[in-house]
Structure 1
């Protein structure tokens, strides 16, 4: 008797979690059904009590202790019924600045825990939709500022892998939920952990490149974007601006993003400096005044190893030539000795003191 291959779980949040990253108000996902029933396509959209509306996300301005009632539409575009889970989850920034949600089963501690859907699972007929009410209850003692979450519809499925095992898949789509709690707003950005490295060249008189990486952290209580510039300088090179530094579109409070930038044409001058300047930019039409800026820098070694090697080689050749010339002198010959045929040495010019009578 043969045993059934074990089922292995595959977390697919990065592959299938689409969180309103484009302009359209509806977010869709599709997956090929391995049971031969065709492709399953479904989506989510902010909605009124009867039908979807034109909002691109859920955005609320609330006070501590407030409650909000709203709806999300879950749409089935497939030719067969679908059973979907519906739940809320905390949002966070990925390391590259993307917007993502906690994996299913991970407990939410912020805005995701404030949302309760009327149904946790819905069965939607083919080419139909279900409108699911939900309640947002803001805790009384919550900190002011921005809090982010997502409302998710997910489909569980499975497929075989190359080893014959069944791989469990979860495909998710979600709509963003942005909540601003009334109170003192404190925008803040910080540049942290700046590290720079020089990449030299084999040309003793050439230039190399330098790479800097740094962390941008939102230290305030509202979501912000950030536009940065990176410059490198030393005693031989004026400020060189690194090209292609991407603008951070949205950074949630308390979250951080790692950024890397590279510049070419930097002369090695033993010691150089990389300086990062950041300007905050508003997100989602915010008009908060006095948006902050931030600066960070790091010194790093830019040693001209190729030039030093050339100088060492030149010094070694000079020493070798001097030693060779010394070895060619006749043995016993003192410095300044005259060779054969040089003629008599002139008498020394000596003075004769007068004798006393």
Structure 2
């Protein structure tokens, strides 16, 4: 169970990204978690497998651990990946179109005295035309308070926490990742080895959520290989989501041309058939030690100039003697 006291911590519980122009108005503390009809249970999230047209009934526990009473909004929303691969839910006021729309809580407002928990039923109705694969969202508890910003103005600040909802609809599952927009560039040093900068975008092209393990290396035309640094595993990408990766491989020979390669092994957080295939991509770039080339050109120009200055010049011709007739 995740409890969050301040605005920033409440936001981090879901990976939410919101501006922080003001401080939270008070220390109200609340949380949500899966539950039975009687009490919170041990599940970390809501996870279901269902067929189109199925109806799933479940419960969420909404708790207030502060001494003061609190009034919370409770609702369902859709999830998405942030640019850095984090997990987020649609901001309040944005209408969900997927599993958040299919989920309805019995109470949209819960009044909780201090140190109490309420069990709120909700129903997830899978449309008959729901597409196969993973649909992700969350059940959210939200508190809006009044705060003062840096200019002394009163503003509304929303704190929210949530429990994730993972729904897998039966049918044709197509797990897959792709590597797009692969770039490589080489920067050499005056003497010795250089660095190859590598960038690429990993896209979830399938219909199930996937993470991945990734490895980058650089090869020269004659077969020498330089491994890149150890990269963190890719975060769990929802279908259609992307994650941009930037890294650098040091110690690369200035071999004229080098090829940067990336290998990604997909990781499925939930068993899936068929298993997702590994993905490879590459890009070739010039690997010339340009600082050294520039230095050599300067030296060559200096030597040529010096040689030209030392080259003897032809003597001026003597004036012709005047012819005096006898």
Normalised by the length of structure 2, the TM-score is 0.87
What residue in structure 2 maps to residue 136 of structure 1? 124
What residue in structure 2 maps to residue 264 of structure 1? 250
Q: Aligned in 2, Cα 1:15/1:243: closer, same or farther, shift over 3 Å?
A: farther
Secondary structure of 1:51 counterpart: coil
**Which one of the candidate residues 252, 258, 261 is aligned to 2:238?**
252
| CA offsets 1:68-121 (integer angstroms, 9 cap, x no match) | 111000010111001111111111111222111111111211111110011111
* C-alpha contact 1:218 1:252 (8 A) present in aligned 2: yes
In structure 2, what is the Cα distance between the partners aligned to 1:73 and 1:32?
27
**Number of matched pairs:** 306
* C-alpha contact 1:249 1:283 (8 A) present in aligned 2: no
In structure 1, what is the Cα distance between the partners aligned to 2:246 and 2:60?
38
What residue in structure 2 maps to residue 64 of structure 1? 52
In structure 1, what is the Cα distance between the partners aligned to 2:10 and 2:294?
50
1:331 aligned onto 2:315: yes
Indicate the larger mover: 249-258 or 57-66.
249-258
Report deviation, 1:124.
Answer: 0.6
Secondary structure of 2:32 counterpart: strand
| CA offsets 1:112-152 (integer angstroms, 9 cap, x no match) | 11100111111111010111110000000111111111110
In structure 2, what is the Cα distance between the partners aligned to 1:107 and 1:14?
24
What residue in structure 2 maps to residue 18 of structure 1? 13
Q: Aligned in 2, Cα 1:156/1:102: closer, same or farther, shift over 3 Å?
A: same
User: Which structure is larger by alpha-carbon Rg, 1 or 2?
Assistant: 1
**Which one of the candidate residues 225, 229, 239 is aligned to 1:239?**
225
Q: Counterparts of 1:208-357 in structure 2 under 5 Å?
A: 208-235=194-221, 238-284=224-270, 286=271, 288-327=273-312, 331-332=315-316
1:53 aligned onto 2:50: no
Unaligned runs of 5+ in 2: 1-6, 17-21, 318-326
What residue in structure 1 maps to residue 96 of structure 2? 108
What residue in structure 2 maps to residue 42 of structure 1? 30
Secondary structure of 1:53 counterpart: coil
Q: Aligned in 2, Cα 1:194/1:15: closer, same or farther, shift over 3 Å?
A: farther
Indicate the larger mover: 295-304 or 82-91.
295-304
| CA offsets 1:196-223 (integer angstroms, 9 cap, x no match) | 233332x2x2222222111111111111
In structure 2, what is the Cα distance between the partners aligned to 1:80 and 1:105?
27
What residue in structure 1 maps to residue 185 of structure 2? 197
Indicate the larger mover: 12-21 or 146-155.
12-21
* C-alpha contact 2:58 2:121 (8 A) present in aligned 1: yes
Q: Counterparts of 1:72-221 in structure 2 under 5 Å?
A: 72-201=60-189, 203=190, 205-221=191-207
In structure 2, what is the Cα distance between the partners aligned to 1:33 and 1:217?
37
Q: Aligned in 2, Cα 1:196/1:14: closer, same or farther, shift over 3 Å?
A: farther
In structure 2, what is the Cα distance between the partners aligned to 1:195 and 1:228?
16
Unaligned runs of 5+ in 1: 1-11, 22-30, 334-357
What residue in structure 1 maps to residue 320 of structure 2? none
